[in-house]
Structure 1
Amino acid sequence: MTAPPISTVLDERTASRAAAGALVGNALEWYDFFLFTTAAALVFNVQYFASDDPVTAVMASFATLAVGFIARPVGGLIFGRMGDRVGRRKTLLFTVALIGVTTGLIGLLPNQFSIGVAAPILLTLLRIVQGLALGGEWSGAIIIAVEHAPPAKRGWYAALPQIGSPLGTLLSSGAFALVALLSKDDFDSWGWRLPFLAAIPLLLFALFIRSRLEESPAFRELLERDEIEHAPVSAVLRKSWRQAVVGLGVALLGMGGFYLVTTFVISYGTRVLQLDRTLLLSGTLVAAVGEIAVIVVAGRLADRFGPSRVVVAGGLATAAIAFPVFWLIETAQPVLVVAGMTLGVAGLSFPYGACGSVLAGLFEPQLRYSGVAIASNGSAMLSGCVPLVATAVFAASGDQIWTAAALFVAIALITAVSGLFAPRLSIAGPAAARY
């Protein structure tokens, strides 16, 4: 099966502009999203799910986090279809607007002590809307970057939007680190809301940048040839379900592994190790800086050796370091805790940096937005359950940290195996190993 050429005109300047637009929107997406994940570990269990049992409160908070992930595949179906029928650019403008507005509303939401049971219900509903929008954002950002990129540099340009993840982490964790300097009473009453409200001006900036993006050459070509697929979702499920399953596995470590090393560790560190939340947030910041460097390297390696090979190598390397990562964290020594978090995030960032070009290469242009959305959001749905599963298994084992390390290994190996199968299912065939 041979795909039509992506475009007759692909130049570095246009590709850079498209990658920048994808990066800015992606950064806002992850900023908003990581605010929620950090708040799920530090705030929502107290403000919206108050309970006499701290484990129950934490699990209820993480369950709300998981609900948003469950909504993501639905959003992927909605916005994937929109992206394949209406266009990549229009879809990305809509998704980023919805994400920013929803996050701002969370910052205004009264807590459980003010409006009772309505508070967690409204928080859950806002999280669902956020999850729906997230379902179309990441996949669209990756696709518009890849479809503007010269063939020899698709690995590099597909990696650039991925930097939005650590940038979002830096912004969100930095914002929480600043407000965490407030007194506990001020932080609990109003301080934690400020990072959520900051999403509104960030949204305006993202909309300005994205509004200047051109439609992807691949989509324009489909329009000119009258080759728009009118039922792309069903076509993916009928013809490309194997690609979707493999794509899910390829993306799993970069998403699920990250939430294990950050969200779960923040909860574990504050609740079990009695570490200061500022230390753990600082660890996330240091890890995010390292992640940016690793993603840049992964993009270069993807163009040189092939993105699938980078995914396989990164998955195996992460499996090898999983237990040392959590042993370092378990020491509760500040320097070693930060080193463990940084090492874990660095390992999983290699497959994360390369996964965008792998996923884009699995689907024909007519089905690409829907296919990538289905694969990535299926992975995101499973990933959203990782902190919840890790907390439950950890508690059931009597607080044995090896359970989290074993889960990290399992996730890493799933990604490595999926990376082995990806070239066989790519639209470019086995040669995609060097795609």
Structure 2
Amino acid sequence: MARTSEALTTQAVSSASPRSKARRTALGSLVGTTIEYYDFMLYGLTAALVFPKVFFPAQTPLVAALLAFATFGIGFLARPLGGIVFGHFGDRVGRKKMLVITLIGMGSCTFLMGLLPGYSLLGETAVVLLVVLRFIQGFMVGGEWGGATLMSVEHAPPGRKGLYGTFAQMGAPSGVTLAAVVFMATSSLPDADYFSWGWRVPFLLSILLVGVGLIVRTTLDESPEFAAAVKKEAVVKVPFIEAWRTHWKQILLVAGTYLSQGVMAYVALTYLVSYGANTAHLDRTMTLLGVAIASAICAAVHPVFGLLSDYIGRKTVYMIGAVLLLVMIVPAFLLVNTGMSVAFIIAIVLIQGIAMPLTSAVTGPLFTTLFPERIRYTGSSVGYTIAQIAGPAFAPMIATAIYGATGQWTSVAGYLAVICLISIVCVTLLGGAWGKKEAELQRRNG
């Protein structure tokens, strides 16, 4: 009976109209990437505010913070490996199966982190287990982004890849918002309760999100463009080698283009939270409220900017965002340094709610369409995950170390400015038309 019900559900989905399938697939991508960023944002916030005391209590505050942010970076080191493995099978076996595996893997690691004893019970073994779980989680995430993005982009109606492709990216601010709200609710507990069990609750709740995600994803159709590639017998034997052989430049430009977006996101949402609480002496709950508000705004405007990219070009929209990220750095620090909660919220909104979505909304359709379908999962995933190591993986730790060495926020701002300039150069090197001419080419190419 269960198999019959599943078959009927699959048949109903398969017989739906292309536009209906596109909407359902976009929802599936949104749910999956929401879980991805809920998991990673939750870890980032906990690394900033909890892990120094729970897993590194014997260290000085600066060293404990650096070690906590180092464990945060470990997950990024695993991402390229995940991108290669899941990209390989995604380009050979299909996108859908990989997304189910990555969803289960991500959620399981997050749930187990919530059960992990601290240093006081297990000593250094607790740290080792934390790093192992973080590494596995990063491996799964390395395959999640490419598959979720491809499903949305490859199911999109003609001329609407920007709009539909943005839903996978919209999961990022949605997950961040959810993580910040849940984290904020538990962080209001008394310190004794919060540091013993309260911080674990958001990790354990992730299992509910995984259940919802599985219900949605198991009923999706395979990507039509992948199905067409199989029919044409255009499946590549070793996609990783083929991608580097034929599209190495695009892989490196994807990495460089994403650099500013990734670094600014994780610096704003983890380092600035730590900086605001510890250096500017802001209330912990108010810093989390700022993250939640900015991320909610970011999620809300994603479809707007995604649709805009279908009319004026994805590269054009991304460039506007990259320039704005550069411009917002100094004002953001000046606002945080006032020590006022409202000013902190405005600073996070400027970066995360205004400048960031211009880049993140078009990341999926811009990056994936640089590669042919036979290597699209691998090429886009590898480029994206290389950027994770080069940029956001250790950005909070680097920012913490720079401030610890100089005592000047301007030094941190200079580091961020260099990162943004690299991305602006890489966007330029993508070449091709700009503005409406770019949009015309997008529509012509589907």
Q: Shorter chain as normaliser: what TM range? A: over 0.9
Q: CA 1:191 to 1:205, structure 2 compared with 1: closer, same or farther past 3 Å?
A: same
**Superposed structure 1 runs of 4+ greater than 6 Å apart:** 429-433
Alignment of 1:208-357 (within 5 A): 208-345=215-352, 346-357=354-365
After TM superposition, give the deviation of residue 10 of structure 1 in Å: 8.5
Output the CA distance in 1 between the equivalents of 2:208 and 2:403: 39
What SS class does the counterpart of residue 295 from structure 2 fall into? helix
What SS class does the counterpart of residue 282 from structure 2 fall into? coil
Output the CA distance in 2 between the equivalents of 1:418 and 1:31: 29
Structure 2 partner of 1:396? 405
Structure 2 partner of 1:114? 121
Q: Structure 1 length as normaliser, TM-score?
A: 0.94
Output the CA distance in 2 between the equivalents of 1:108 and 1:52: 23
Alignment of 1:59-74 (within 5 A): 59-74=66-81
Structure 2 partner of 1:44? 51
After TM superposition, give the deviation of residue 432 of structure 1 in Å: 7.9
The one of 402, 407, 415 equivalent to 2:423 is: 415
Output the CA distance in 2 between the equivalents of 1:254 and 1:11: 32
Structure 1 partner of 2:9? none
Deviation digits for residues 341-380 of structure 1, max 9, x if unmatched? 1101121221111111110111010000000110111111
Judge conservation of contact 1:139–1:373 (CA < 8 Å) in 2. Answer: yes
Judge conservation of contact 2:84–2:382 (CA < 8 Å) in 1. Answer: yes
TM-align CA RMSD = 1.8
After TM superposition, give the deviation of residue 250 of structure 1 in Å: 2.2
Judge conservation of contact 1:273–1:332 (CA < 8 Å) in 2. Answer: yes
Q: Structure 2 length as normaliser, TM-score?
A: 0.92
Judge conservation of contact 1:10–1:150 (CA < 8 Å) in 2. Answer: no
Structure 2 partner of 1:203? 210
Output the CA distance in 2 between the equivalents of 1:404 and 1:300: 34
Output the CA distance in 2 between the equivalents of 1:301 and 1:314: 13
Bigger mean CA deviation after superposition, 337-346 or 285-294: 285-294
Judge conservation of contact 1:146–1:158 (CA < 8 Å) in 2. Answer: yes
Judge conservation of contact 2:25–2:155 (CA < 8 Å) in 1. Answer: yes
After TM superposition, give the deviation of residue 419 of structure 1 in Å: 1.8
Output the CA distance in 2 between the equivalents of 1:246 and 1:169: 26
After TM superposition, give the deviation of residue 431 of structure 1 in Å: 7.3
Q: CA 1:173 to 1:281, structure 2 compared with 1: closer, same or farther past 3 Å?
A: same
Output the CA distance in 1 between the equivalents of 2:39 and 2:326: 29
After TM superposition, give the deviation of residue 430 of structure 1 in Å: 7.1
Structure 2 partner of 1:89? 96
Letter in 2 for 1:293: A
Q: CA 1:148 to 1:423, structure 2 compared with 1: closer, same or farther past 3 Å?
A: farther
Q: CA 1:370 to 1:153, structure 2 compared with 1: closer, same or farther past 3 Å?
A: same
Output the CA distance in 2 between the equivalents of 1:76 and 1:407: 27
Letter in 1 for 2:213: A
Judge conservation of contact 2:92–2:237 (CA < 8 Å) in 1. Answer: yes
Count of aligned pairs: 424
What SS class does the counterpart of residue 365 from structure 1 fall into? coil
Structure 1 partner of 2:62? 55
- Structure 1 portions without partners, runs of 5+: 1-8
Letter in 2 for 1:294: V
After TM superposition, give the deviation of residue 434 of structure 1 in Å: 4.7
Judge conservation of contact 1:314–1:416 (CA < 8 Å) in 2. Answer: no
2:42 is the counterpart of 1:35? yes
- Structure 2 portions without partners, runs of 5+: 1-15
Output the CA distance in 1 between the equivalents of 2:76 and 2:195: 26
After TM superposition, give the deviation of residue 319 of structure 1 in Å: 1.1
Letter in 2 for 1:160: F
What SS class does the counterpart of residue 324 from structure 2 fall into? helix
Judge conservation of contact 1:358–1:422 (CA < 8 Å) in 2. Answer: no
After TM superposition, give the deviation of residue 273 of structure 1 in Å: 1.6
Structure 2 partner of 1:6? none
What SS class does the counterpart of residue 286 from structure 2 fall into? helix
What SS class does the counterpart of residue 298 from structure 2 fall into? helix
Structure 1 partner of 2:373? 365
Deviation digits for residues 392-425 of structure 1, max 9, x if unmatched? 1111112x11122223322222222222222449
Output the CA distance in 2 between the equivalents of 1:214 and 1:277: 44
Deviation digits for residues 244-264 of structure 1, max 9, x if unmatched? 011112222222110111100
Judge conservation of contact 1:248–1:378 (CA < 8 Å) in 2. Answer: yes
Output the CA distance in 1 between the equivalents of 2:38 and 2:418: 27
Output the CA distance in 2 between the equivalents of 1:132 and 1:375: 15
Letter in 2 for 1:349: P
What SS class does the counterpart of residue 192 from structure 1 fall into? helix
Judge conservation of contact 2:243–2:378 (CA < 8 Å) in 1. Answer: yes
Judge conservation of contact 1:179–1:187 (CA < 8 Å) in 2. Answer: yes
Output the CA distance in 2 between the equivalents of 1:63 and 1:261: 17
Output the CA distance in 2 between the equivalents of 1:151 and 1:379: 29
Structure 1 partner of 2:140? 133
Output the CA distance in 1 between the equivalents of 2:184 and 2:439: 46
Q: CA 1:90 to 1:351, structure 2 compared with 1: closer, same or farther past 3 Å?
A: same
2:376 is the counterpart of 1:374? no
Judge conservation of contact 1:423–1:430 (CA < 8 Å) in 2. Answer: no
